[in-house]
Amino acid sequence: MTEKRIRESLVKQLERRGMNAEFYEDLINDYVHYWNLKKDLLADIKDKGLRYETINGNGVSVEKANESVVNLQKTTATMLKILTELKLKEPVQEQENPTDGYL
């Protein structure tokens, strides 16, 4: 999935709902920003793990919790809140052929 596809999908879903105000576009931009941040956080967790070793100010090796884990949870929660504000919990299905006589 790419940033472009996510943005296009969100815009398309909002258009189907008649939600075309600039306010919604700004929320989509925020969502995409958090999506990119989420990818970075996941990469950091994959690289460092849940905990990692570092040297503290006294020169002693210590194990620390990876803050990306907590930040990932916060980022995901924020993304879900944005989707709720956009009323996009579930995608709106496109009609296959609106002139075929079936609902």
Q: Which domain holds residue 22?
A: 3-86
Question: What is the rounded end-to-end Cα distance, in angstroms, of the chain?
Answer: 31
User: Per residue in 4-61, pLDDT tens?
Assistant: 999 999 999 999 999 988 889 999 999 999 999 999 999 999 999 999 999 999 999 9
CA atoms within 13 A on the CB side of 58: 3
Residue 22 is which amino acid?
E
Residue 94: pLDDT band with limits 50, 70, 90: low
Q: Are 28 and 86 in contact (CB under 8 A)?
A: yes
| 100 part of a folded domain | no
For residue 95, is pLDDT > 90?
A: no
As for how many domains the chain has, the answer is 1
Q: How far apart are CA 73 and CA 36, in angstroms?
A: 14
| 31 part of a folded domain | yes
pTM score > 0.95 for this model? no
